[in-house]
Amino acid sequence: MYLMDYHHHTNHSFDSTASMVEVCKKAIENGIQEICFTEHFSVNPLAPTYGHMVFDNYLREIHDCQEQFQGQLIVKAGIELCEPHLLKDQYDEILQPLNLDFILGSVHNLNNQKLRLALNEDQPTAYERYFNELYHMVSDSDIDIIAHFDLMKRYAYKEHGLYVFQEHQEMIEQVLKKAIDRNIGMEINTSGLRTGLKQTLPSIEIIQLYKELGGEILTIGSDSHTVEDVGANFNDALSLAKDCGFNYIYTFEKRKPIPVRIQ
């Protein structure tokens, strides 16, 4: 099977110190054939990631890696946006000329507050607010893939436990339908498998529902912030995709989804 990682961070993100060249070397060592870097980026001065990204440097380093590892590893230029439905025009203005391969959309903040802090409210309310914000993102932003669909659980599970899928099913369904409608796909984010959470983001119920509703576009990402974890748990995600009835995983080129058959 063609191995790929479509969610990875390096020191171009505010919360990683990993070197891109080292990540590429490790990827090759681990038998990964394609990597798409997806650094954090926000145009909102209140977002923790604001001001870190220098696109000239980022794109130059990607270009250098493409040359250095030609024939061994395909390197794509992606980005992970915070709340891309807010300040949409500012995002468009900066991103359109860059001609990136791939855009992940994320809800990391609610009302300019990190999810971790938004949790201090009642549990159903916090999750409801999160999924509601996700709906707005999917309805009104220029993205390719929804990152870590049920991210709220990453911050909630320890103290408050996991959410009950059925309690949010209606809202989740609205998000998925809107995504399918607008040709926006979903990732299986494996980061949760490497923490006490012990599950992917999203959970299997959401992946199943996405399939049931006719969703096709699926990527796999480690959401790694280190050299060591590049491509981590790819096979777990692949099995999950297969179990849910998917026959393809996607790569992207200049924002165009390209199916890769699951073997």
243 lies in the binding site for Zn ion (CB under 5 A) = no
Residue 117 makes CB contacts below 8 A (sequence gap 6+) with none
Contact 36, 6 (CB under 8 A): yes
- Of the pair 15, 121, the CB lying nearest Zn ion is at 15
Residue 182's φ and ψ, nearest 5 degrees, are -100, 15
15 lies in the binding site for Zn ion (CB under 5 A) = yes
Smallest separation (angstroms) from Zn ion to the CB of 15: 4
Smallest separation (angstroms) from Zn ion to the CB of 223: 6
* Region binding Zn ion by CB under 5 A among candidate stretches 14-22, 28-36, 89-97, 249-257: 14-22
* Region binding Zn ion by CB under 5 A among candidate stretches 81-89, 103-111, 125-133, 227-235: 103-111
Smallest separation (angstroms) from Zn ion to the CB of 166: 26
* Region binding Zn ion by CB under 5 A among candidate stretches 53-61, 102-110, 177-185, 212-220: 102-110
* Region binding Zn ion by CB under 5 A among candidate stretches 9-17, 134-142, 201-209, 243-251: 9-17
Reduce the secondary structure of 119-150 to three states and give it as a string.
CCCCHHHHHHHHHHHHHHHHHCCCCCEECCCC
From residue 241, give the alpha-carbon distance in Å to each of 6, 178, 234, 261: 15, 21, 11, 12
Among residues 10, 38, 42, 106, the one that binds Zn ion under rule CB under 5 A: 106
- Quick one: tokens of 34? 């394609």
Reduce the secondary structure of 184-208 to three states and give it as a string.
CEEEEECHHHHCCCCCCECCHHHHH
Contact 136, 107 (CB under 8 A): no
Q: For the chain, percent helix, then strand, then coil, each to nearest 5?
A: 40, 20, 40
- Of the pair 106, 233, the CB lying nearest Zn ion is at 106
190 lies in the binding site for Zn ion (CB under 5 A) = no
* Region binding Zn ion by CB under 5 A among candidate stretches 98-106, 130-138, 158-166, 203-211: 98-106
Smallest separation (angstroms) from Zn ion to the CB of 38: 8
> Is the bond preceding 202 in cis, omega lying within 30 degrees of 0?
yes
Smallest separation (angstroms) from Zn ion to the CB of 76: 17
Query: 107: part of which helix (H) or strand (E)?
Result: none
Residues near Zn ion (CB under 5 A), total: 2
Interface with Zn ion (CB under 5 A): 15, 106
